[in-house]
Amino acid sequence: MRAREKASELVDSMWKLPDINDNGDVISMCFEHAKQCALIAVDEILNARVWIPEKGIEYWQQVKTEIENL
C-alpha cells in the first residue's frame, strides 16, 4: 500500500471513532482531530523502532507527511 493510501486509511479509521463534547454527548470526531490521532499513531510507530522489512522508517515518514498534507 502506498504511503498516501495508508495515510487516508489511518485518518478515515480515526474519523469513525466517536468523540465526546463538553456536555458528555457522543458526536462525530472532526477531521482535524482524526488527523492528529493518526499522526500520534504514526509517531508511535516511528518511535518504536521495530520495523517490518518492507515498511521501514522512510515509508512511515512518508505516511506522516501525507497525513499532514490531507
Residue-wise pLDDT tens digits, 6-45: 999 999 998 887 767 778 777 777 889 899 999 999 999 8
Reading the block at residue 38, the C-alpha cell is 493518526
CA distance 51 to 37: 21
Place of cell 466517536: 18
pLDDT value at residue 7: 97
CA distance 47 to 42: 9
For helices 3-15 and 31-48, the axis angle rounded to 10 degrees is: 120
Whole-number Cα distances in Å, 55 to 17, 36, 62: 26, 21, 11
